[in-house]
Amino acid sequence: MVVWSSTNMSISNSYTLDKPQHYLTDAVRIENMSYCYDLDNALLPVLDNVSLSINGGDTCAIIGPSGAGKSTLLNLIGLLEKPNTGKIIIAGHDTSSSTADQRAILRNLNIGFIFQSFNLLPRLSALENVALPLMYRGIRKNVALSMAEEELMNVGLSQRLQHRPHELSGGQGQRVAIARALVGKPSILLADEPTGNLDRETGDMIFDLLISLNALRKTTLIMVTHDAELTAKMDRRFKVSHGRIVEIKC
């Protein structure tokens, strides 16, 4: 149960970093949601009255043509955008009336992001990049660095702790991004074309790593991809097209 405090925008919660809420029936639930871009004071519909439910521990592919709204859907689930109408319920918490600060806190506690371009800070080492989300939570630097080191070891980068992004290969950079996304033990992992900038072999290795981490931790994985081979390996598939979302049954 999350308790919003209107005075200091803090969250008190019944779970800690070592007790994430991975086993909720609905990790994500969207009810009658619509979203429009504001383009020169004109509303451009992107998603129109869509609903979906994703269980805790699922692996889900988000597919569809370019420009259909796949990344927008991911941003809405990640609480980076707010819908025009409808509800987004994350890890049991209805975000309909939450403020930007409240969404940021909930996002930091429950959601990890992996982007196609890695989004690592160039002046920080791999270790510092991974520790940063924990320090945003107010965790002491030495504790955050220790947790970051453990996470980098989990993705096979124990020998690259002090390397900066420009000193890493594409696959290593994406592993750092995965470690950063997972270090706070989120219940939901959002990945936007995480293999898109990688060669086939490296991309397959990164995907296999994500699937193995999902199996080990039961972290819900929601991934935007154009790759049919990767899509076929996911538990569920949602197609975004013409403002609608349709689940494609296996």
Given a cut of 90, whether residue 38 has pLDDT beyond it is: no
Backbone angles phi, psi at 173, to 5 degrees: -60, -40
Query: 238: pLDDT confidence band, cut at 50, 70 and 90?
Result: very high
**pTM for this one?**
0.86
Given a cut of 70, whether residue 246 has pLDDT beyond it is: yes
Interval 198-237: pLDDT, tens: 899 999 999 999 999 999 999 999 999 999 999 999 999 9
Domains of the chain: 20-248 (3.40.50.300)
Interval 153-193: pLDDT, tens: 999 999 999 999 999 999 999 999 999 999 999 999 999 99
Query: 23: pLDDT confidence band, cut at 50, 70 and 90?
Result: very low
Identify the residue whose tokens are 């950063």: 180
Amino acid symbol at 229: E
The pLDDT value given to residue 9: 32
Q: Which two tokens stand for residue 99?
A: 């403020």
Mean predicted confidence (pLDDT) in 98-122 = 90
